[in-house]
């Protein structure tokens, strides 16, 4: 005959969550200890230092400004009218691929700008750009240029 106990009988359970926590703790501990004990050994190598190429003395760009009275400026340096063409030939012989940017003040005559453009083309320079301002845009003050007329 089987008698039941007045104390309720509990079945044994294995809790797995604390076991997982302990395993992760041990794994992290062993990883930290093993990484701190590893000494990285390598060979010293003397790498060459990067050296920039020397700057070239050949000009690849020139800015030409035409002011009123046929005053021509090469990179903000005044050049007389009879020296414009020899200066262009000199620049073209130094660098056949030279780029020229032509700009004019508001008071410069159209014919003076076209004359400079003809001299640029006759010197053999083919890479020519023009600096043009939009109508109504404020003009930058050029050295020796008169102030712009007042707006009514």
Q: What is the pLDDT of residues 1-30, one digit of tens each?
A: 677 777 777 787 878 888 899 999 999 999
> What are the residue ranges spanned by the domains of the chain?
61-130
Q: Is the domain covering 61-130 a CATH 3.30.420.270 domain?
A: yes
Indicate if the pLDDT at residue 152 is higher than 60.
no
pLDDT at position 151, please?
59
Of 21-25, 44-48, 51-55, the poorest mean pLDDT is in: 51-55
Indicate if the pLDDT at residue 45 is higher than 90.
no
pLDDT at position 54, please?
76
Q: Report CA-CA distances (Å) from 5 to 10, 11, 98, 103, 123.
A: 12, 14, 109, 111, 120
Q: What is the pLDDT of residues 102-148, one digit of tens each?
A: 999 888 888 899 999 999 999 999 999 988 876 555 655 555 555 55
Report pTM.
Answer: 0.52
């Amino acid at each position: 005959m089987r008698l039941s106990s007045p104390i309720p009988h509990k079945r044994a359970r294995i809790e797995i969550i604390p076991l997982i926590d302990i395993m992760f703790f041990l794994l992290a501990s062993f990883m930290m200890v093993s990484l701190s004990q590893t000494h990285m050994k390598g060979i010293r190598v003397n790498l060459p230092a990067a050296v920039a190429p020397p700057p070239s003395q050949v000009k690849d760009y020139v800015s030409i400004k035409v002011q009123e009275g046929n005053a021509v400026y090469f990179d903000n340096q005044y050049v007389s009218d009879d020296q414009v063409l020899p200066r262009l030939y000199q620049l073209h012989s130094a660098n056949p691929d030279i780029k020229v940017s032509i700009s004019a003040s508001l008071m410069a005559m159209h014919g003076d700008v076209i004359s400079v453009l003809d001299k640029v083309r006759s010197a053999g320079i083919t890479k020519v750009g023009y600096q043009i301002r939009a109508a109504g845009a404020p003009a930058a003050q050029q050295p020796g240029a008169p102030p712009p007329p007042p707006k009514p």
